[in-house]
Amino acid sequence: MKIHEYQAKELFRKYGVPVPNGGVAFNSEEAIKVSDSLGCFPVVVKAQIHAGGRGKGGGVKLAKSADEVKSTSKSILGMNLVTNQTGHEGRLVKKVLVEQGLNIKKELYLGIIPDRSTAKFVIMASEAGGMDIEEVSEKTPEKIIKIFIDPISGIYPYHCREAAYGLNLPAGSVKEFTGMLNSLYKLFVDYDCSLLEINPLVITAEDKVIALDAKITFDDNALFRHKDILEYRDIDEEDPLEVEASKFNLNYIKMDGNVGNMVNGAGLAMATMDIIKFAGAEPANFLDVGGGASAEMVENGFKIILGDKNVKGVFINIFGGILRCDVLAEGVVKAAKKTGIAVPVVIRMEGTNVEIGRKILSESGLNLITAIDLQDAVGKVAAIVNS
Amino acid sequence: MSIFVNKNTRLVVQGVTGKEGQFHTRQCVAYGTSVVAGVTPGKGGQKMDDVPVFDTVNEAVKKTEANCSMIFVPPPFAADAIMESADAGIELIVVITEGIPVMDMMKVKKYISGGKSRIIGPNCPGIITPGECKVGIMPGHIHKPGGPIGVVSRSGTLTYEVVHQLTQKGIGQTTCIGIGGDPVNGTSFIDCLDAFQKDEQTKGIVMVGEIGGTSEEEASEFILKNVTKPVIGFIAGLTAPPGRRMGHAGAIISGKSGTAQGKIDAMKKSGIHICENLGTLGEICVSVFKNA
């Protein structure tokens, strides 16, 4: 789960990690109030959306007076912010973070992630702050310090010292930095984070270490033990169909194509999207109804897929195995009658009683086209949407 | 021959009295797996069909000599169940549970490292040696016993699709393993490839990967250096958008890392036969494995 920068900074404050003074605002009057309370200029007005690259997209601006706070917050709030991470459709800005401007001497990068292959946490630090860290790691990997932490024994002071001296910090900043890194690690572990990133972490003219930016994502599987984090969820940042699907426990991701598809199992769902593309069509979505696919899941899946008006044909690919195909077919027919399908549906299913299942589908009187295998199915659905 | 499970496997099911546990225990028994015990704390002394239920794994092992466990315990309690199994001396721990927090699995992995237990999964369909032993939730009847092909995959139903196509073409399997779709798992591609290479009956391998992480790239390097048997590779997720979790917790492209194309390129470099279109997998297997 993603959260906003201002929410991540709230967590930073809770853990004693220094952040600039500031506050969130939903309109320009509130922005001015926050700016007044800071009592200094310049201030920075930052768009709050769940995507990076905001500065380059025009979502971060400096304001040198109350009038400028008003005009910049007015221009950013309500803008459709397009960045390299939002896709071409962009994201509507509904809130801004207003913060004190800082006197910056140096910009650094600091991140923590779990490393999949070693099953350890890895702290990444670099003097090349403020830049795209992936680019740095690709072109100049020697500029990134990596420190691995065993999840059972946890962080030790030498880990923090290694990062501090590796970053060539001014002598006066080392102690502050090591304390801060220790707190960030604690926050990471306490909240089951899957990513914590500060880019840039700045050293000010006064040698203070401050988190100018803050990005945290959480392990969805661990949210059951962090009810307080769930309150940070911002449904405005999610696709409405995806929000609807999540209510039914369906894994749905909207895409740009016109072949709606419903599959049981994530791997097979991805492979089904790929095969649609190979057949010369474009998938409209990813939809995994779960390995055990029940008739009820299929019905809910239908509703979600048909909620996307771009869909010109639907491909259902269910590898039941243990699941009986006659039961599944009855579920599909019932769901199709209930939701009222206006587009052709191609169904490929496999499992026990597959012949009876196909018979139920073809005799249903509905626009349901059966297929014998993957190739057959995808050929049929591609022909429909491309005709 | 086969790898990891065979007719000598003695299975204990953790979470045996739950809905999923009951259903799949019965399926395993019906397939011929020797299910010797079940564990549900508080239900010791009861029976699930003919399977005796114990309060702890330790007790189950002492009374039944179980050497393999299958776990259906819900995510918040799964790490506990895995460590209990390892401490009871279980050699192979198959974790079906989906949704275990990553941090729990990191700790479990460190905890059991150096011991004698192997974990398969979590978030996996399990492992089957056709005709001998099924420890998992896969449909048994789609498999064809006798080899000569080993299958290893990060996915569930996608593996069934692959096995189904092999069987349809008359190609049998030695052992099929789902290593799971989570970012941190127990047994890796490399562990399975190594075991298949050493297994005499296995003459060829199908490896099914997906987007996210670098395990396919690492496996490709391993294959180049250590595997002499023909390998066919398939990667799901060519059309997956970056930054989105595609169902499996581990199936996510982060920036430029973990893409399907990157994995396919790495596999090609290592001499692995690539199947790009899943619909044609069976045919490719026929042509690559015809001499196997």
How do strand A43-47 and strand A60-63 relate by DSSP bridges?
A: antiparallel
* Predicted pLDDT of residue A291: 65
Q: What are phi and psi of B92, to 5 degrees?
A: -125, 120
Cβ–Cβ gap B249/A220 under 8 Å: yes
Mean pLDDT for the stretch of residues B69-89: 97
Q: Which residues of A touch B218 (CB under 8 A)?
A: 117
Contact criterion met (CB < 8 Å) for A374 and B278: yes
Q: What is the pLDDT of residue A183?
A: 98
pLDDT at position A191 is 98
Contact of A191 with chain B, judged by CB distance below 8 Å, is answered with: no
Name the residue with tokens 């002071």.
A157
Are A152 and B239 inside 8 Å of each other by CB? no
Is the CB of residue A77 less than 8 Å from the CB of residue A97?
A: no
What is the C-alpha to C-alpha distance for residues A230 and A45, in angstroms, rounded to an integer?
A: 26
- Torsion sign, CA atoms B260, B265, B267, B273: positive
Which ranges of chain B does DSSP label H, i.e. alpha helix?
19-31, 57-64, 75-87, 102-112, 157-168, 189-198, 215-226, 260-269, 281-289
Sign of CA dihedral B89, B91, B95, B101: positive
pLDDT at A53: 86
- Calculate how close chain B gets to A46, using CA atoms only, in Å: 22
Decide: A134 and A52 in contact? Cβ < 8 Å.
no
| Predicted confidence (pLDDT) per residue in B208-241, tens digit | 999 999 999 999 999 999 999 999 999 999 999 9
Average pLDDT over residues B67-77: 97
Whole-Å CA distances, B40 to B64, B152, B168: 15, 30, 39
Q: Which residue of B has its CA nearest to A188?
A: B103
Interface A-B, measured as beta-carbon pairs within 8 A, has a size of 175
Give whole-number Cα distances, A164 to A122, A155, A160, in Å. Answer: 15, 14, 6
- Identify the residue with better confidence: A306 or B108: B108
Helix, strand or coil for residue A154? coil
Distance CA B61, CA B56 (A): 9
The rounded mean pLDDT for chain B is 95
Which residue out of B24, B143, B248, B273 is catalytically annotated? B248
* φ/ψ of residue B160, rounded to 5: -60, -40
| Each residue's pLDDT expressed in tens, for chain A with a length of 387 residues | 999 999 999 999 999 999 999 999 999 999 999 999 999 999 999 999 998 889 888 999 999 999 999 999 999 999 999 988 887 888 999 999 999 999 999 999 999 999 998 999 999 999 988 777 778 877 888 889 999 999 999 999 999 999 999 999 999 999 999 999 999 999 999 999 999 999 999 999 999 999 999 999 999 999 999 999 999 999 999 988 899 998 888 899 999 999 999 998 999 999 999 999 999 999 999 999 876 667 778 888 888 998 899 999 999 998 877 677 888 888 888 888 888 888 999 999 887 788 898 899 888 888 889 998 899 999 999 999 998
pLDDT of B83: 97
By DSSP bridging, strand B34-39 and strand B51-54 are parallel
> Can you say whether the dihedral through the CA atoms of A277, B250, A265, A293 is positive or negative?
negative
The minimal CB distance from B246 to the residues A219, A270, A291 is found for A270
Residue B48 CB partners (closer than 8 Å, separation 6+): B16, B17, B22, B25, B38
To the query of whether residue A158 is one of the catalytic residues in this protein, the response is no
| Phi, psi at A201, each rounded to 5° | -95, 130
Question: Token pair for residue B180?
Answer: 């799971």
> How far lies B44's CA from each of A25, B22, B38, B65, B79, in Å?
58, 15, 9, 17, 21
Exposure on the CB side of residue A299, measured as CA atoms within 13 A: 11
Assigned token pair, B133? 């032993």
Which residues 261-280 in chain A show a CB within 8 A of chain B? 263-278
Tokens read off for A187: 């926050």
Gap between the Cα atoms of A280 and A257, Å rounded:
11
Residue window 216-255, chain A: list those with CB within 8 Å of chain B. Answer: 219-222, 224-225, 251, 253, 255
Q: What is the ipTM of this complex?
A: 0.94
Using the Cβ of A179 and the Cβ atoms of chain B, whether some distance falls under 8 Å is answered with no
Q: What is the mean pLDDT of residues B134-151?
A: 95
Nearest alpha-carbon partner for A340 in A371, A363, A314: A314
Does A372 touch chain B if contact means CB atoms closer than 8 Å?
no
Does B291 have pLDDT greater than 90? no
pLDDT given at position A293: 67
Report whether B189 contacts B146 (CB < 8 A): no
What's the pLDDT score for residue A367?
84
Residue B244 token pair? 């989105």
In DSSP terms, A351 is beta-bridged to A321
Cβ proximity of B50 and B33 under 8 Å: no
> How many CA atoms are closer than 13 Å to the CA of B274, on its beta-carbon side?
18
Asked if B239 and A119 come within 8 Å (Cβ–Cβ), the reply is: no
- DSSP letter assigned to residue B272: P
Per-residue pLDDT tens digits for B39-65: 999 999 999 999 999 999 999 999 999
Which chain A residues are Cβ-neighbours of B183 within 8 angstroms? Answer: 114, 116
Strand partners, A345: A314, A368
- Any bridge partners for residue A202, and if so which? A107, A210
Cβ separation of B157 and A194 shorter than 8 Å? no
